[in-house]
Structure 1
């Protein structure tokens, strides 16, 4: 019998060929043990036993996290993450069964892309996130800051002077420096301060939080490169409803770890999936979402490529501006 522990044990050991089998097994487990997902599948008239590929799996609309408690099985919350949203909007709630698992998994996602946390100083410029509770991003960065064991790692909130002083001090340090910021705060820094951050890796986490007009990712990265004297701008693709993160390599594309897969769906037909090389709506399979739901139909627009990489182009019409919102094309 499949258990939470068996799925988590397979998370880091499987290869690409095993992904399909693990995803299908997890689908059957969640289809029987997740009350909301089971009701959704039943309402669609889908026979679980007839699903033989990942593309055939019914993906649950991400909006369900706003109005339902999404849990596979019965357990007590170790934590609750909520999305940022906009003033007056309904936020998503992700119930977390094991906070340590989330933090250690987020660390594995980062290590897979960039190496050990102890190789970096983490300077976090996340004013909108720090000003509210229950942010998964803040929890992740707190973990990164602690594990880096750097006296300079920390949250800077609105103290740009100290931030720039510390960045200048770290120019001669053997460790690399990461400045991890919400988009509008990085733009403010680029436009008002125009510092030399050529010694930093700059990570933008997307979203204007209602502070500025949304712009394309290309525009954003060009402005940040020029205003911060940076060769590259890195991006993180993550959201309240996912336990995994994907990262860019400084280009416009994100690259997935082995436990996450992006699937394009037809914009006007959510059941037509597997779209490649053209604008599509984005579905996510996140095998780390063992305790909630691993198959999520997001409201993001993007392009998925044959090698598994993907771009995010914006948001679907009438969808909320959320924490993972990047730029609207």
Structure 2
């Protein structure tokens, strides 16, 4: 553990966020990604084993795309961290709704994560708000789910973008029950004041909303928008993305482009957003990257980058993951479209984990 080195790297990571908020060019991405990989190889034995198994010498790294990626499933099987448990500030855990252990992402300094989440969230959800607005979260409160990274992020949005309101009027899911009465009251008050609303919601909570209201509507004030995130996790029936978006637009009486999907995960410190709210040329299903994160589609067996336009599983290089894994390997299928920014999200790879993910886990755990 080297806290001074970690703090220095956090400062360099936050410099990307500061530059973004000032509208300035970002520092060198590859340089910091490789420095983070070297730091993590020095202080995370599992990552050092993964590098050796891949024939990667951390000191020789010069490109972010060459950093070995830690599979997301590794967060369920071992501690992915460069520091002692005694200095852990917060640990986020995956939902654990499927069979098996919950993944855990320990953070020594959550302020870097918070700064990045707030800056990119503001850019794609709230950049046009000139004053606090009513914010409601169709999800459990941080008190009810203290280890949820999504709840932590939503809480930062409530503080940054929201007008003052009691917790019970902000967090509208308790015990998997959606408080429609309070939601209706918040909408009515916002309509009377002519205030746009920001609704932050999980996909399964939105399906519960659809099922509960039927043909009724919750007409939101002009300028309102909805952030939709996460899957259904067995907590509701599954609804195709296009169908869900169309029904939400009908119920809320807003344009479909005001329904913005967010893509993130517990194992990351960065998030990605659809650009439809502020970019007339953007289409749903394509996501913007912050300057501090890159999504690379890779072959599911060789883990080599695939040609532009082809589908691969997502390797994500996240410079905000200072003390865990700067590169992670997911089972989500993605594609980069020629001539466009960002990436297209195509859903989870079917069946068993891709062979490349399984091999990487064995290498990280020293089982190869």
TM-score (norm 1): 0.86
Q: Does the 8 Å CA contact 2:34/2:58 hold for their aligned counterparts?
A: no
Alignment of 1:1-329 (within 5 A): 3-9=5-11, 10-12=15-17, 13=19, 15=25, 18-74=28-84, 76-113=87-124, 114-115=126-127, 119-127=132-140, 132-148=145-161, 150-152=163-165, 154-157=170-173, 158-173=178-193, 175-193=195-213, 194-199=216-221, 200-232=224-256, 233-250=259-276, 251-270=284-303, 272-306=304-338, 307-318=340-351
Q: Which residue of 1 aligns with 2:281?
A: none
SS in 1 for 2:10: helix
State the distance in 1 between where 2:189 and 2:274 align: 27
Deviation at 1:73, TM superposition (A): 3.9
State the distance in 1 between where 2:69 and 2:98 align: 28
CA RMSD of aligned residues (A): 2.7
TM-score (norm 2): 0.78
Equivalenced residue count is 319
State the distance in 2 between where 1:161 and 1:84 align: 27
Bigger mean CA offset, 170-179 vs 254-263:
170-179
Q: Does the 8 Å CA contact 1:191/1:227 hold for their aligned counterparts?
A: no
Q: Does the 8 Å CA contact 1:276/1:304 hold for their aligned counterparts?
A: yes
Larger strand proportion of the pair: 1
Deviation at 1:17, TM superposition (A): 6.9
Deviation at 1:172, TM superposition (A): 4.5
Q: Does the 8 Å CA contact 2:263/2:272 hold for their aligned counterparts?
A: yes
Deviation at 1:30, TM superposition (A): 1.9
State the distance in 1 between where 2:293 and 2:133 align: 25
Note closer, same or farther for the CA distance 1:100–1:304 as it changes in structure 2 (3 Å cut): same
Q: Does the 8 Å CA contact 1:130/1:138 hold for their aligned counterparts?
A: no
Q: Does the 8 Å CA contact 1:103/1:140 hold for their aligned counterparts?
A: yes
State the distance in 2 between where 1:195 and 1:180 align: 18
Note closer, same or farther for the CA distance 1:223–1:69 as it changes in structure 2 (3 Å cut): same
Bigger mean CA offset, 220-229 vs 281-290:
220-229
Unaligned runs of 5+ in 2: 277-283, 354-368
State the distance in 1 between where 2:352 and 2:16 align: 31
Per-residue deviation, residues 11-57 of structure 1 (Å, max 9, x unmatched): 33383572122222222222222222111112233233443322222
State the distance in 2 between where 1:188 and 1:18 align: 44
Bigger mean CA offset, 206-215 vs 261-270:
206-215
State the distance in 2 between where 1:78 and 1:17 align: 27
